[in-house]
Amino acid sequence: MAREKATVTLDRSKVDTAKTLIGARTISDTLDIALDRLIRAEQLRRDVAAYRRAPPGDDELAIADLELELDLDDADIDYEGLYGGR
């Protein structure tokens, strides 16, 4: 990831609080982490908004009612012997 220097004006109190909360060593680390979290939160907010505009239909919800057989291909493993029925 390419990084470049930037000059910004910040509220030092907010930066110090953020650094303490996330355990960052530098202002750059703090801003990098904060921007990552902001980006993820905004993407999630947009995904939720899109979902609310077009929630799943009955046919999509019906998938949850389908029978499911889970085969881990581990029938030869003695879990009782390994873990003693914990």
The one-character DSSP state at 63 is G
- 12 vs 19: CA distance, rounded Å: 10
pLDDT in tens, 26-42: 999 999 999 999 999 99
Answer whether residue 24 shows pLDDT above 70.
yes
Answer whether residue 50 shows pLDDT above 80.
yes
CB 18 within 8 A of CB 34: yes
